Amino acid sequence: MAITPKQKAAIAAILAAGTLATAAVLLTGRPGTEPHDAQGDAHGHGHAHGAGHGSASATTPAGDKPADADAPIALTDEQIQRAGIAIETAGPATIQSGLQFPGEIRFNEDRTAHVVPRLAGVAESVPAALGEQVRKGQLLAVIASTALSDQRSELLAAQRRMELARATYQRERKLWEERISAEQDYLLAKAALEEARIAVQNAQQKLTAVGATASATRLNQFELRAPFDGVIVEKHLALGEAVADNANIFTISDLSTVWAEFVVSAKDLEHVRVGETARIRSAASDGKAEGTVSYVGSLLGEQTRTAKARVTLKNPNLAWRPGLFVTVEVLNDKATVPVAVQADALQEVDGNRVVFVAGPKGFVAQQVVAGRSDGQLVEIRDGLRPGARYAARNSFVLKSDLGKDAAGHEH
Please give the span between the terminal C-alpha atoms of the chain, in angstroms, as a whole number: 87
Which segments within 236-351 are labelled E, that is strand? 242-243, 250-253, 257-265, 277-282, 288-296, 306-314, 325-331, 335-342, 347-349
**Cα-trace Rg, the chain:** 49
Q: Please, which residues have CB within 8 angstroms of residue 143's CB and are 6 or more apart in sequence?
A: 117, 119, 121, 122, 123, 124, 221, 222, 224, 243
Question: Helices (DSSP H) in 145-271: which residue ranges?
Answer: 146-177, 183-209
Whole-prediction pTM value? 0.57
> SS3 of 61, please?
coil
Separation in Å, CA 279 to CA 260, 282, 311 = 10, 10, 9
Tens of pLDDT, residue by residue, the chain (411 residues): 455 555 555 555 555 555 555 444 444 444 444 433 433 333 333 333 333 333 333 333 333 443 344 678 888 888 888 888 888 999 999 887 778 899 999 999 999 999 999 999 999 999 999 999 999 999 999 999 999 899 989 999 999 999 999 999 999 888 888 888 888 888 999 999 999 999 999 999 998 888 888 877 789 899 999 999 999 999 999 999 999 999 999 999 999 999 999 999 888 888 888 988 898 998 777 788 989 999 998 877 766 778 899 999 999 888 899 999 999 988 877 788 899 999 888 998 888 899 999 888 889 889 999 988 877 889 999 999 999 999 988 888 888 877 665 545 454
Return the number of other C-beta atoms located less than 10 Å from residue 139's C-beta: 14
- DSSP readout, 117-134? -SS-EEEEE----TT-EE
> How far is it, in rounded angstroms, from Cα 168 to Cα 121?
39
Domains of the chain as residue ranges with CATH: 77-93+337-410 (2.40.420.20), 100-109+254-331 (2.40.30.170), 115-252 (2.40.50.100)
Give the strands of the sheet with 221-225, arranged side by side. 221-225, 139-144, 121-125, 242-243
